[in-house]
Structure 1
Amino acid sequence: MQDHFNRERHSMHVLSALYTGTIQISKLKTDIVIMKKEIFKIIRELGIKIQGLSSSELNRDQLICQLFEQLEQTVNSDVDSKLDTCETMALTLCNNLERVSDKHVELVNRCRNMEDEIDSSVLRINALEHMLRVREEMIIDLEQKWMDNSPLVSYNGVFIWKFTDFSRKQQEAQGRNVSHYSTPFFTSPFGYKMCARLYPNGDGMGKGTHMSLFFVVMKGEYDALQEWPFKQRVTFCLLNQERGSHVVDSFQPDPTSSSFLRPQNNMNVASGCPLFVRLDALVSPDNGLLKDDTILLKIIVDRKDLHDPGSPN
């Protein structure tokens, strides 16, 4: 409603009504001035006639009464005419005000209906958002169960991820922050639980120009037996499928980062290489990195000096 009153169109209607009323009032003032002039003219004529009373056949009292009767008739006629004009103007203004009032009531009712519709829409949106969150949690839970039971699970700290349909997934990720998680793998059957997270269209500094690859420490069943924070060196390899050079990058975990502390939730914040490989180099047919729309990623976790909770010692 406030927006409606602030609109130029509403202001122009109000100004137009005021302008019309001002013109009518100005005209009425002009008519009153003319009426005054006519009255003054009659008074002057009356004075002239009074001066000639001595030559009149009527006596003075009769003549004065006659003149005042004539003045009264003239004034009454002019006043009645002006009153009719004022009544017409007042009636017109009242009708305009009634129309404006009706429009105002209609606008208020429409605003209330819109508010009710907005409240109803907000409730529906909140319900849909809640449903989406529940379904996302169900999907994540199902994916996690599938990954945990996958026969491709590695228990030696080395994992090879076959990532198919790269072109489609990279295109789907454009304009959105879409990522994909690998199957979990372990440093040993009772060791750290980990996975990789891939952004086909890049993330952070690499968004839109690079493929980003990250390492994720996951919550495992035997975390109480591990040493924290996680300190093992991580190496990423994008394997060349035509016996050419691989793309290799590695990093040493920062022991002060929350990404390598003991997980309190399902997984820690991913950490790794936002600028792992340029997209133009990756998709180039001469590099041998992308073949049959598939890439092969190798993740190696250094197990040197790593205590194995499952060993006899």
Structure 2
Amino acid sequence: MPVHQNVTVLDAKLQQAFQMIQSVNNKIKVSNDKADEFLFGINLNQLILQQQLDNIKESISLTQTPSSDGTLTWKIDEVSGKIVNAQLEHQLSIYSPPFYSSLSGYKMRARLFLLGDENARRTHMSLFFVLMRGEYDAIQKWPFDHNITFCLYDLSGQHQHIINSFRPDTKSDSFQCPRLEMNTASGFSKFVPLEMIQRDDSRFVKNDTMFIKVSVDFCAMHPNLLPHIPQPMNKKEVDRQDLAAAIPIDSYPPPCKRARYVQDTERHVSEPGERIERAIDQSIVYSIRLESSAENAEGDVEESTF
């Protein structure tokens, strides 16, 4: 066979081989694209399932007996996963279980933005108080005007908790009788810097869990409202009266003296940036501030005072 014919045959075979290689490469590329698509779908399904699981856990927590003494100790687990959800903007905020001022009192909850609301996104953790529509709203005093305190627990054993308090702005819609399921959240956009939460040796996150306490001061409630207070609180009042009968009146402190003292102390040092010490669960306070009112979550149209 002439040489030129051999070259022609070899060239045809090379062209055929090249086409086969190109076809295989195209198939590999399609397979890779499908694999990437498949993996993306798996990751998306995992996120959806995780969110559904979180919702189920929240629903279960809501069925548990709520606190009815004006305080809430909120355990927040899987903090790192919730932060990832916030980073991906799948769930920017989480809600605490509801709690009550009494068995027939105000219904309340907390709202937490682990990566901050739009006023503090990715710089601070934001924490807010929410009034909810309750069964006994018709017999409550409105607007809501009781001091609110947030406490982020130090879990290192040093008991240097972060505590911030504020007085409700009674002109704000946040503290009127709720018409919808929940009022606009009000509280602190810049509750604590994120670096204090996200660092590996954070005092406020242990075993991927943090604890927040919400306390509402109902100590100054009008005496006429005492019949609406549940039995445990009435029993305290009975014990106090029994003690008063056994002790000379001039040696017995008036009701809520400690609470008024704390409030007076806070008013005295409530200038921005100042720090005071107050015992919460017999612990040292790392930081505390008292504001005359608070700002609203997610940029709702309310004038902020700080």
TM-score by length of 2: 0.53
Q: Distance in 2 between matches of 1:309 and 1:198?
A: 34
Deviation at 1:144, TM superposition (A): 8.4
Q: Secondary structure at the match of 2:108?
A: strand
Q: Secondary structure at the match of 2:82?
A: helix
Partner of 1:204 in structure 2? 118
1:289 to 178, 189, 204: 204
- Higher helix proportion, which one? 1
Which of 87, 90, 95 pairs up with 1:174?
87
Q: Residue type matched to 1:310 in 2?
A: H
Would you say how many aligned residue pairs link Structure 1 and Structure 2? 174
Query: Shift of the alpha carbon at 1:204?
Result: 2.4
Do the aligned partners of residues 145 and 286 (structure 1) sit closer, same or farther apart at CA in structure 2, a change above 3 Å counting?
closer
1:166-186 Cα distance to aligned partner (Å, 9 max, x none): 111112101526111110000
* Residue of structure 1 aligned with 2:130, choices 205, 212, 216: 216
Q: Could you tell me which of 97, 104, 111 is aligned with 1:183?
A: 97
Structure 1 residue 242 displacement after superposition: 1.8
Q: 1:301 to 1:248 in 2, by over 3 A?
A: same
Contact 1:157/1:186 (<8 A) preserved: yes
Q: What is the CA deviation profile of residues 180-219 of structure 1, one whole-angstrom value per residue up to 9, with x for unaligned ones?
A: 1110000111110000001111102211111111000000
Displacement of 1:149 in angstroms is 2.9
Kept in 2, the 8 Å contact 1:195–1:215? The answer is yes
Rounded to whole Å, the distance in 1 between the matches of 2:80 and 2:58 is 25
Residue 173 of structure 1 aligns to a residue whose secondary structure is helix
Runs of 4+ deviating beyond 6 Å: 142-145
| Structure 1 vs Structure 2 CA RMSD | 2.5
> Structure 2 CA distance, aligned partners of 1:249 and 1:180?
19
Provide structure 2 residue ranges, at least 5 long, that are not aligned to the other structure: 1-53, 238-306
The sequence identity of aligned pairs, in percent, is 40
Offset at residue 156 of structure 1 (A): 0.5
Distance 1:250 1:188 in 2: 21
Distance 1:143 1:288 in 2: 25
Q: CA offsets, 1:217-255, max 9 Å, x none?
A: 000000001000000100000001122210111110000
Closer/same/farther in 2, CA of residues 209 and 190 from structure 1, 3 Å limit: same
Seen in structure 2, the aligned counterparts of structure 1 residues 299 and 181 have a Cα distance that, compared at 3 Å, is same
What amino acid maps onto 2:197 in structure 1?
A: L
Larger radius of gyration: 1
SS state of the match for residue 183, structure 2? coil
CA separation in 1, counterparts of 2:190 and 2:215? 18
Task: Within 5 Å, give how 1:77-156 maps onto structure 2.
Answer: 146=60, 148-151=62-65, 153-156=66-69
CA distance in 1, matches of 2:187, 2:106: 17
Correspondence for 2:166 among 243, 251, 258: 251
Q: Name the counterpart of 2:176.
A: 261
CA distance, structure 2, for counterparts of residue 158 and residue 143 of structure 1: 21
Match of 1:23 in 2: none
